[in-house]
C-alpha cells in the first residue's frame, strides 16, 4: 500500500529518491564521481565497465562522461594498464591462453588494438603453461597417450584458450 505525505503526494522511498541524480545543481556529477571512486576501490576497471556501472546506478550521460573523463585524466581508468594487469594475472593464476584472455577482455570493453599492445608486452610462456596443465590433467607427465586421451587433452587445452599450433608444439607426440 502506498504511503502519502501530509500534503497528499506519494512518499518517496530512499531508492526512488536516489534515482534522480540529475536534480542536483551539478547534474549529479559529484555523486557520479563518488560512485565511480567507490567502484574502483575493489579493483581496476575498464572505461566500459565504469560506464555500465554508472548507467545502472541511474546517472545521466553528462555526469557519466564527466566522471569518466576525470578518472581517465588522473589515470584511475586506463584500458591499456588494465589489459596488461589482466593478462599477467590470467597467465599466472588462471593459466589461460591468449585466445581466451582476448575474448574476456573484449567482454570488458577492451578494444583489439589495446589488447595487441598489452599482449606484446607480456611474457607468454605458452609451452610451459601447456605442459603444467597437461601434467595436472593427466596426473602424470604427458608422454605416450592413446588417441582418446590425446583428444581429451587437446579439447581441454583448446577450451583454456590455447591455439592448436601452441598445443601441438608444446606436446610433441
Q: Which domain holds residue 45?
A: 24-73
- Model confidence at 17, in pLDDT bands (50, 70, 90)? very low
In a domain, 41, yes or no: yes
pTM recorded for the entire structure: 0.79
DSSP designation for 10: B
Please compute, for residue 19, the number of CA atoms within 13 A of its CA located in the half-sphere on the CB side: 6
> Span 80-101, mean pLDDT?
96
User: Do residues 113 and 140 share a domain?
Assistant: no
Residue 146 has pLDDT above 90, yes or no: no
Cα 78 to Cα 110: distance, rounded to the nearest angstrom: 10
Of the listed ranges 12-16, 39-43, 141-145, the one predicted with least confidence: 12-16
In a domain, 2, yes or no: no
- The C-alpha cell at 8 is 497528499
Can you give 101-135 as a three-state secondary structure string? HHHHHHHCCCCHHHHHHHHHHCCCCHHHHHHHHHH
DSSP designation for 60: -
Residue 32 has pLDDT above 60, yes or no: yes
97 with 108: CB under 8 angstroms? no
In a domain, 48, yes or no: yes
In a domain, 10, yes or no: no
Cα 7 to Cα 1: distance, rounded to the nearest angstrom: 18
| Residues contacting residue 58 through CB under 8 Å, at least 6 positions apart | 18, 19, 20, 21
131 with 168: CB under 8 angstroms? no
User: Do residues 107 and 139 share a domain?
Assistant: no
Number of structural domains, the chain? 3
- Model confidence at 92, in pLDDT bands (50, 70, 90)? very high
Cα 145 to Cα 135: distance, rounded to the nearest angstrom: 12
In a domain, 158, yes or no: yes
130 with 166: CB under 8 angstroms? yes
Cα 108 to Cα 118: distance, rounded to the nearest angstrom: 15
Amino acid at each position: 500500500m502506498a504511503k502519502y505525505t501530509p500534503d497528499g503526494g506519494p512518499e518517496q522511498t530512499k531508492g526512488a529518491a536516489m534515482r534522480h541524480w540529475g536534480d542536483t545543481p551539478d547534474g549529479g556529477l559529484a555523486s557520479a564521481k563518488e560512485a565511480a571512486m567507490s567502484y574502483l576501490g575493489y579493483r581496476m576497471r575498464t572505461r566500459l565497465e565504469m560506464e555500465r556501472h554508472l548507467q545502472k546506478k541511474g546517472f545521466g550521460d553528462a555526469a557519466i562522461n564527466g566522471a569518466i573523463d576525470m578518472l581517465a585524466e588522473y589515470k584511475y581508468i586506463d584500458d591499456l594498464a588494465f589489459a596488461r594487469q589482466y593478462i599477467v594475472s590470467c597467465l599466472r593464476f588462471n593459466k589461460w591462453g591468449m585466445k581466451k584472455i582476448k575474448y574476456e577482455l573484449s567482454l570488458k570493453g577492451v578494444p583489439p588494438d589495446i589488447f595487441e599492445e598489452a599482449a606484446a608486452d607480456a611474457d607468454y610462456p605458452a609451452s610451459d603453461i601447456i605442459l603444467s596443465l597437461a601434467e595436472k590433467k593427466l596426473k602424470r607427465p604427458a608422454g605416450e597417450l592413446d588417441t582418446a586421451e590425446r583428444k581429451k587433452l587437446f579439447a581441454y587445452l583448446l577450451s583454456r584458450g590455447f591455439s592448436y599450433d601452441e598445443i601441438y608444439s608444446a606436446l610433441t607426440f
